């Protein structure tokens, strides 16, 4: 692959992924700051906050459906065409959320429409991740799949940085202005990013591996059927491996906003700045970990990350409890910038190694999105519930984080037993 094509492929994969996650995390952050008051008013603040996080969680449960729909298109027609559709869906839903009237203006129709738009976003994101990953991995030269596969994973922290930074800027407005129109601007202006992402992707051809599969007739007629028939074990492994990557992340990046500002009385801008700094470190560390996995192995890097998560769960909350601004910054940088990157950097490439080309889009999308629905979407909700049940004590939440790492370590122990080569031998 020449350098120009390499840059174009990696840019197309990264830009689209970053935009998708910007749209997604924007909502997650706003849910803890604004949406409980404007769309889910309640006499009990905890109930309102839980309803706002529930609207955030619902998207995760539609993502597997989006993964199935768009992975079917991706495995049948191609990766590139699918990515155009998913980016348009996600971006359109985001802009409409920014224009949506509040509960005070249109009553019960407001939260209903908000949830419908979130479901639209979920459909788009469900198909986007798998396509972005395969665009990079299936173009990667031998010996660099770990590095290439880590690039779209950088879209997660970059999207979070963009979302958090724009809301930090809007938070500088007077409170009334922020609550009225300030929070809406990032949603509406995301339309510009979507147009840019579509333009970047228009210059990329279909991936070489998919083109080769088409020429040899290795294209599944019903990818989801083949996947569930021949690759159900690999899907279960991927679901389990996803747990530690997604649940702690949403505690570190979204739940912490309401927890630190509400329970611990940190300043809102301080918390948002801490997350912004941490995710910049994350974006730097992910490709480094991806490249390292090409040398020492993806499974080894992943296991190191899981063990680090177990060891850091309790110190994370201890640091937050210090109550000083520096403590929330250090806690966030260690969580998102040091502990989490080894896990997320190799996750996508490790998933792609489990499936043959003809069902790879469907296989990785099912594993990733089902795992996200089970663990990621519910994490802020579970953490908020635990906080209420145990009188604001953080110990149960730390135990929850440890449990996610244990589940994933058990799942990844089976990755050596099932690979795409073994899958091919089973007839998939």
pLDDT at residue 402, rounded to an integer:
97
- Chain-wide mean pLDDT for the chain? 84
Asked whether 233 and 365 are in contact (CB, 8 A), the reply is no
The pLDDT tens digits for 12-45 are 888 878 887 787 778 877 876 787 778 877 656 6
Residue pointed to by tokens 């404007």: 38
Residue 421 has pLDDT above 70, yes or no: no
- Of 357, 368, 353, 338, the C-alpha closest to 419 is 353
Asked whether 276 and 171 are in contact (CB, 8 A), the reply is no
Cα–Cα distance between 362 and 73 in angstroms, integer? Answer: 9
Q: Angle at the Cα of 36 (from 372 to 125), degrees rounded to 5? A: 30
289: containing domain = 3-425
Cα–Cα distance between 90 and 12 in angstroms, integer? Answer: 16
Cα–Cα distance between 419 and 17 in angstroms, integer? Answer: 26
pLDDT confidence band for 357 (50 / 70 / 90) = confident
Asked whether 332 and 277 are in contact (CB, 8 A), the reply is yes
Tallying the residues shown for the chain, one arrives at 428
Residue 313 has pLDDT above 80, yes or no: yes
- Average pLDDT on 288-312 reads 95
Asked whether 380 and 57 are in contact (CB, 8 A), the reply is yes
Indicate yes or no: pTM above 0.85: no
Give Cβ neighbours of residue 237 (< 8 Å, ≥ 6 apart): 354, 367, 411, 412, 414, 415, 418
pLDDT at residue 108, rounded to an integer:
85
Structure tokens that stand for 38 in this block: 């404007």
The pLDDT tens digits for 64-116 are 888 888 888 888 777 777 888 888 888 888 889 999 998 889 988 888 888 88
CB atoms within 10 A of CB 310: 17
Regarding predicted confidence, which is higher, 377 or 298? 298
Regarding predicted confidence, which is higher, 26 or 275? 275
Structure tokens that stand for 138 in this block: 């299936």
Q: For position 144, which CATH number holds?
A: 1.20.1250.20
Q: Angle at the Cα of 166 (from 164 to 168), degrees rounded to 5? A: 65
- End-to-end Cα distance, the chain: 29
- Average pLDDT on 390-397 reads 90
Residue pointed to by tokens 């224009």: 99
pLDDT at residue 352, rounded to an integer:
87
The pLDDT tens digits for 118-144 are 888 888 888 888 888 888 888 888 888
Domain count, the chain: 1
3 state DSSP class of 281: helix
């Amino acid at each position: 692959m020449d350098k120009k094509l390499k840059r174009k492929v990696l840019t197309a994969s990264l830009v689209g992924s970053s935009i998708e996650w910007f749209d997604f995390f924007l909502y997650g952050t706003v849910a803890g700051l604004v949406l409980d008051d404007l769309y889910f008013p309640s006499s009990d603040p905890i109930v309102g906050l839980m309803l706002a996080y529930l609207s955030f969680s619902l998207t995760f449960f539609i993502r597997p459906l989006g993964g199935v729909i768009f992975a079917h298109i991706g495995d049948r027609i191609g990766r590139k065409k699918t990515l155009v559709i998913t980016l348009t869906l996600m971006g359109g839903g985001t802009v409409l959320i920014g224009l949506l009237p509040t509960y005070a203006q249109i009553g019960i129709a407001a939260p209903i429409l908000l949830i419908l738009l979130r479901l639209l976003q979920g459909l788009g994101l469900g198909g986007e991740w798998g396509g972005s990953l395969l665009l990079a991995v299936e173009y990667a030269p031998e010996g660099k799949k770990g590095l290439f596969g880590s690039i779209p994973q950088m879209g997660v922290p970059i999207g979070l940085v963009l979302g958090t930074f724009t809301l930090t800027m809007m938070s500088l407005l007077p409170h009334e202005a922020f609550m009225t129109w300030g929070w809406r601007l990032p949603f509406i202006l995301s339309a510009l990013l979507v147009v840019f992402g579509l333009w970047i992707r228009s210059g990329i051809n279909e991936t070489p591996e998919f083109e080769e599969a088409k020429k040899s007739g290795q294209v599944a007629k019903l990818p989801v059927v083949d996947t569930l028939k021949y690759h159900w074990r690999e899907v279960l492994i991927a679901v389990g491996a996803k747990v530690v990557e997604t649940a702690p992340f949403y505690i570190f990046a979204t739940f912490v906003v309401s927890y630190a500002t509400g329970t611990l009385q940190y300043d809102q801008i301080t918390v948002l700045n801490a997350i912004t700094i941490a995710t910049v470190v994350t974006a730097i560390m992910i490709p480094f970990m991806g490249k390292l996995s090409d040398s020492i192995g993806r499974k080894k890097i992943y296991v190191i990350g899981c063990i680090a998560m177990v060891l850091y769960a309790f110190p994370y909350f201890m640091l937050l409890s210090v109550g000083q601004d520096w403590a929330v910054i250090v806690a966030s940088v260690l969580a998102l910038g040091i502990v989490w990157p080894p896990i997320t950097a190799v996750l996508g490439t490790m998933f792609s190694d489990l499936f043959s080309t003809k069902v790879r889009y469907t296989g990785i999308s099912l594993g990733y999105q089902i795992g996200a629905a089970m663990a990621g979407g519910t994490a802020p909700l579970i953490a908020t519930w635990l906080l209420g049940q145990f009188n604001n004590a953080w110990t149960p939440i730390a135990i929850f984080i440890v449990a996610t790492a244990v589940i994933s370590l058990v799942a990844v122990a089976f990755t050596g037993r099932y690979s795409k080569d073994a899958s091919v031998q089973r007839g998939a």
